[in-house]
Amino acid sequence: MPDTNPRNKSAEKEWSPEPATLAPINFWPPRPVKVFKWLFGFPGFLWPENLLILGITLIIWFFLTPDLSTMKSFEAWWVALLFARNFALILILYGGAHLYFYVYKLQGNVSKFTKQPLATDSSRFLFKSQVLDNIFHTLAIGVPIITVYETITYWAFANGYLGFIDLGTNPVLFWCWFGLLLLLTPMIHSIVFYFVHRLLHTKSLYKSVHALHHRNVVVGPWSGLDMHLVEHILYFSTVVVQWLLALHPVNALFQIHVAAIYPLTGHLGYEKLTIGGKEKFDFGGHFHYLHHKFFECNYGTGVVGLDKLFGTFHDGSKESQAALREYIRAKRKQTAQGVSD
């Protein structure tokens, strides 16, 4: 399915999407109409991605999770069950996306950020294959870490160690708090991800930990969770916020699933899904693709504009690139002055 629109190409290998944007909740004065459209429009904040992830969470909670009362003590059977269904979930979602976009190439190069292929016969990756390397770090390291956090969550809730915010016996307050935390989950993820990501870009952690992920200059679905063990632990620690706030395990499970599935859409290597030549929705991957391309920008997501606040936002334009160069220059000058002092 060739892309015949010359406006969407820069040189031969680059798709030129619209500039990356921040969610309208990040602007002052408030823009209520734009916020409303962002919240309830398609595609938007709620639909399709977040509601689809919530749907997956609810199906897994009601049909594939043991009763909480059986998880008061650590037992191999239920931990193994969690691992098996987490393994299957990631394999189906990430593997399915890889088959769709990169094996059967059902979308061709339409809205593909670069036509460069995923690496093969490269000593940078295990098995000399980017895909096999990415799969290994996702399934052999990522899935166990997801399972560990989920196991601790259920055990702690079952024993009354979590869910300790006291709202009394009022069910209205309980469900309002439950719903509010669901709504805030993507924002919690965005905030924690930004600061964890900045930490991973410090000199002490980048070379030994985060550099593994940044071998993926050209990204594909399996690249999203291609992380070092330490990075997986830090990345999925976003669920700790729900340990402090949540009154129900579903809130924590949704937080885990957001962290587990966002990297898929953020690393597809495509900006939009097209079916039959028609654009269906934007994956929102342009924001993070720019981080892989330019490195010292877009550490968070477009939901909460911490990159704008801290001067690391890049929208893909020449103006943003010039601003990024100035930011890097000032940062290096400040570092050099600190060393000389």
Q: Any idea where the domains of the chain sit in the sequence?
A: 65-293
**Digits of tens for pLDDT over the chain (341 positions)?**
444 443 344 434 567 788 999 999 999 999 999 999 999 998 899 999 999 999 999 999 999 999 999 999 999 999 999 999 999 999 999 999 999 999 999 999 999 999 999 999 999 999 999 999 999 999 999 999 999 999 999 999 999 999 978 887 889 999 999 999 999 999 999 999 999 999 999 999 999 999 999 999 999 999 999 999 999 999 999 999 999 999 999 999 999 999 999 999 999 999 998 887 777 778 888 999 999 999 999 999 999 999 999 999 999 999 999 988 888 888 888 877 765 55
Question: Residue 275 belongs to what H/E stretch?
Answer: strand 272-275
Q: How far is CA 141 from CA 56, 113, 125, 169, in A?
A: 22, 28, 16, 41
Which pTM value belongs to this model?
0.93
Kindly state the tokens that stand for 38: 């962002």
Which string of DSSP letters, residue by residue, matches 21-84? ---GGG-SS--HHHHHHHHHSSSSSIIIIIHHHHHHHHHHHHHSS--GGGGSS--HHHHHHHHH
Instruction: Report pLDDT for 339.
Output: 59
Neighbour count for residue 216 (Cβ, 10 Å): 22
Instruction: Report pLDDT for 14.
Output: 63
Sign of CA dihedral 299, 305, 306, 310: positive
Of 268, 231, 245, 261, nearest in space to 188 by CA: 245
Question: Residue 120 belongs to what H/E stretch?
Answer: none
